Amino acid sequence: MKTGAKVLIEGLLRQGTKTIFGYPGGVVLPIYDVLYDSPLEHILVRHEQAAAHAADGYARASGRVGVCLATSGPGACNLVTGIATAYMDSIPIVALTGQVPTSLLGNDAFQESDIHGITMPITKHNYLVSRAEDLPQVIAEAFYIASTGRPGPVLIDLPKDVSTGEVPEGIEFPTSVSLRGYQPTVKGHPRQIERAVDLMKRAQRPLLYAGGGVILSGADQELLALAERLGAPVTTTLMGLGAIRGDHPLNLGMLGMHGTAYANYAVTECDLLVAIGARFDDRVTGRIETFAPNAQVIHIDIDPAEIGKNKPVDVPIVGDVRQVLAQILARLPPRGSRTGPWLERVEHWRKTHPLVIRDDDLLHPQYVVRTLSELLDGDGVVVSEVGQNQMWTAQHFCFTKPRSWITSGGLGTMGYGLPASMGACVARPGEQVFLVAGDGSLQMNIQEFGTIAQYRIPVKVVVLNNGFLGMVRQWQELFYEHRYSYTELPQVDFVGIARAYGIDGMVVEERREVRDALRTAIAHEGPFIVDVRVVREENVFPMVPAGAAINEMIGSRQ
Amino acid sequence: MKRHTLSVLVENRAGVLSRVTGLFSRRGFNIESLAVGTSEEEGTSRITLVVFGDDREVEQVIKQLNKLIDVIKVSDLTDRERVERELALIKVAAEPGGVRAEVMQIATIFRSQIIDVGPKTVTLEVTGDSDKIDALQRLLAVYGIRELYRTGRIAVLRGQKTVMSEK
Ligand SMILES: Cc1ncc(C[n+]2csc(CCOP(=O)(O)OP(=O)(O)O)c2C)c(N)n1
């Protein structure tokens, strides 16, 4: 006989899990006892929220399922923000939580919380396991559900008596999973494909609008082929950055609230909008009634519920983005340069409304991002926190590969970046992993310096330190008459904090020091922090004010 | 805006009802009526929901329901030929000699059964569509309804069609 805890770890190994992020406690002791001499690597974080974000960062960087583990009650509740973050961005993680024994369920027992109930609206699916012998099936289903269709987090709640319960030594693990209520459509409907091809052939001003779905399904090659065959420019969402090279002539960068002016103008004037693995989020569309007002819309997504949710669609195509694009490419003949005038118009906007940095000697945050982009030159992974730091990185870093950009998009979780970059580092050993952080966000999970130091996880942290909750301050400046209500942060000695944990770093106060400091960080063997004291009241522009149409931007210079 | 009758076949697993109802409240939908019971197939249950909303909103909710792993099939029966039934138990103030005879007469007209008689009350059981039960309820209100129990509505397609026999 063997215990449920043993079956659990065996199940994880069978799923190909190599590393999990976790934090122990009473009811998971049986699981930790199995981990003690298991080949499964466990990384001890300093807060369970970080375990969930690290699993998420691991998943985004690798394309595999990330796994985190926490004890019942407070441990499980601490995972919630991380699970919700993964849910909003469709990231496959499996969260394991301990639970009080089944005999005490519902009793308000010590460290009991109904994490199954709590996480129902923020998981793709979740389980409260009641018998140890169910574990092989539950684990197989959890990984299958998390990683297929539209990916997402799955939680497994494990009462203590399930972990200690005995099952026969030879208990079988399912090799495949089939669920009646879950059969994602992966191939596009041939008739809709035909209709899409028809519209594409006729379009004069086509635009591809690519989202995180392109990254998740690995459709970057197909996206590029479609763009080139159609002669169509491509704009990406925050989650879609890296789906096409940042320096490709057809790439217009990000659209939406902080998108480029030329991307937003292109949306407004295109006659065919092809949404690919994107969901017409309000941060992208601005006032939805005026979004792509002149366009017919083709919407490709694996999740039928996204199609037509926010914007009426002319051609809905449910399916895996990669397969659908391949189906379209197989039917779409190469065509002449019918889109020449359109591309010229877009190029004109690009020239007249570029993203600019003020040209003076001050230390502008955008300059830091651009310099980092130059130095990394397409290698490695860049992670961000949330706020201005995130938007500047999205705007000014030239991403060249999928899965080279990791950020909390849908939930916008401050404190995501540091733990997520640990996960990315673990998933991609030997590669540069840079976190671009704000001084506010960094302090939301700064305890993870402990984890980074303990395991020598070589994360490089660049703080765009402005002494403000910068993005909120920007809104207060622009829309609340400069009334900076509770958004100023006192100066913190981040390098001092890092040193106390055993991590090296340096402070940068002058523009001319930036390049060398970043070089030092790149060359440094272990983790490193660069605390850059940037211009304090810089704003993210262009900006579409809340509720405006996306071609009504402020701060876009002619 | 109109009333929609949805029939949802689900795996009979712990928590499935709260998944379904939670989804409705989260998306800002009021459930007007809800009925749950086992189906013809072991291990599954059938949930019949009546909700009020415009077609596009309801379509979105149906899609969201379909995303739940434990939901096997969702059918919108709204514009289909169907039979709908609801059951009500109504306890009415009706003293012997006084209005009791009138109440019993009304019961007969509505083909409802008297299932219990007390010193001061009679209890009626009635099945039918909602309109019929509403009408009976209104009539009996005059005498004083002591207690009213209405089940959720259930619905079935007419003829040989079943919700599972179609795509
Ligand atoms: C957990 C959480 N709390 C609050 C917010 C709201 N919020 C969005 S951006 C921001 C300021 C971020 O400040 P900082 O990390 O210093 O970055 P900056 O904008 O200055 O680059 C805040 C408070 C959030 N996104 N997440």
Full domain range(s) for residue B35: 2-80
Q: Does A538 fall in a domain?
A: no
Domain boundary among B42, B64, B80: B80
Structure confidence at residue B30 as a pLDDT band (50, 70, 90):
confident
Task: Say yes or no: B119 and B139 in one domain.
Answer: yes
Q: How far apart are CA A195 and CA A201, in angstroms?
A: 10
Q: Does A150 fall in a domain?
A: yes
- Give the CA count within 13 Å in the CB-facing half-sphere of A41: 11
Q: Give yes or no for residue B98 having a pLDDT over 90.
A: no
Domain CATH for B89:
3.30.70.1150
Q: For position A530, what pLDDT does the model report?
A: 98
Task: Say yes or no: A240 and A386 in one domain.
Answer: no
Structure confidence at residue B46 as a pLDDT band (50, 70, 90):
very high
Q: For position B128, what pLDDT does the model report?
A: 97
Task: Say yes or no: B20 and B66 in one domain.
Answer: yes
Ranges of residues in chain A whose predicted pLDDT is under 70: 336-337, 557-558
Distance from CA of B96 to the nearest CA of A (A): 49
Q: Does B163 fall in a domain?
A: no
Domain CATH for A10:
3.40.50.970
Q: Does B164 fall in a domain?
A: no
CA A557–ligand 1 middle distance (angstroms): 26
Token pair, residue B45, equals: 């249950």
Token pair, residue A399, equals: 């991403």
Task: Say yes or no: A139 and A197 in one domain.
Answer: no
Task: Say yes or no: A265 and A225 in one domain.
Answer: yes
> Which protein residue's CA is at the shortest distance from atom 2 of ligand 1?
A414
Task: Say yes or no: B89 and B147 in one domain.
Answer: yes
Domain count, chain B: 2
- 3-state DSSP call for residue A81? helix
Structure confidence at residue B93 as a pLDDT band (50, 70, 90):
very high
- DSSP string for residues in A434-494: EEEEEHHHHTTSGGGHHHHHHTT--EEEEEEE-SB-HHHHHHHHHHSTT--TT-B-----H
Domain boundary among B80, B108, B130: B80
Domain boundary among A152, A167, A182: A167
Average pLDDT over residues B76-89: 95
Q: Which residue do the tokens 């998420």 mark?
A: A56
Q: For position A337, what pLDDT does the model report?
A: 61
CA A370–ligand 1 middle distance (angstroms): 22
Full domain range(s) for residue A106: 2-167
Q: Ligand 1: residues whose CB is within 6 Å?
A: A 385-389, 412-415, 438-441, 464, 466, 468-472
Task: Say yes or no: B113 and B129 in one domain.
Answer: yes
For the segment A323-341, what is each residue's pLDDT rounded down to a tens digit? 999 999 999 998 766 899 9
Q: Does B161 fall in a domain?
A: no
Instruction: Count Cβ atoms below 10 Å from residue A402 Cβ, excluding itself.
Output: 21
> Which protein residue's CA is at the shortest distance from atom 20 of ligand 1?
A470
Q: How far apart are CA A201 and CA A21, in angstroms?
A: 49
Task: Say yes or no: A51 and A143 in one domain.
Answer: yes
Quick one: closest CA in B to A312, which residue? B56
A117, A124, A309: residue with CB nearest B60: A309
Instruction: Count Cβ atoms below 10 Å from residue A528 Cβ, excluding itself.
Output: 24
Which amino acid type is present at position A366? Q
Domain count, chain A: 3
**Inter-chain residue contact A179 with B64, CB threshold 8 Å:** no
Task: Say yes or no: B148 and B89 in one domain.
Answer: yes
Task: Say yes or no: B137 and B107 in one domain.
Answer: yes
Domain boundary among B20, B53, B80: B80
Closest CA to B166 of B79, B74, B102: B74
Structure confidence at residue B47 as a pLDDT band (50, 70, 90):
very high
Strand positions, DSSP E, chain B: 2-11, 31-38, 44-53, 71-76, 82-93, 113-117, 121-128, 145-150, 154-157
> Which protein residue's CA is at the shortest distance from atom 11 of ligand 1?
A469
Task: Say yes or no: A381 and A415 in one domain.
Answer: yes
Mutate to test the pocket of ligand 1, among A386, A408, A439, A532 (most ligand atoms within 8 A of CB): A386
- DSSP string for residues in B93-126: E--TTTTHHHHHHHHHHTT-EEEEE-SSEEEEEE
| A493 burial type by CB count under 10 A (0-12 exposed, 13-18 middle, 19+ buried) | exposed
What value of ipTM does the predicted structure carry? 0.92
Q: Which helix (H) or strand (E) holds A210?
A: strand A206-210
Quick one: closest CA in B to A304, which residue? B63
A356 vs B: CB within 8 A: no
Q: Does A558 fall in a domain?
A: no
Domain boundary among A320, A352, A384: A352
Q: Which residue do the tokens 């590393």 mark?
A: A19
Q: What is the dihedral of CA A126, A446, A424, A321, to 10 degrees?
A: 50
**Inter-chain residue contact B69 with A125, CB threshold 8 Å:** yes
Task: Say yes or no: A145 and A219 in one domain.
Answer: no
Q: Give yes or no for residue B146 having a pLDDT over 60.
A: yes
Answer yes or no: pTM beyond 0.90. Answer: yes
Domain boundary among A352, A384, A400: A352
Q: Give yes or no for residue B70 having a pLDDT over 80.
A: yes
For the segment B109-120, what is each residue's pLDDT rounded down to a tens digit? 999 999 999 999
| Catalytically active residues of A, by annotation | 48, 110-111, 160, 471
Domain CATH for B25:
3.30.70.260
Task: Say yes or no: B47 and B91 in one domain.
Answer: no
Q: For position B167, what pLDDT does the model report?
A: 57
Instruction: Count Cβ atoms below 10 Å from residue A363 Cβ, excluding itself.
Output: 20
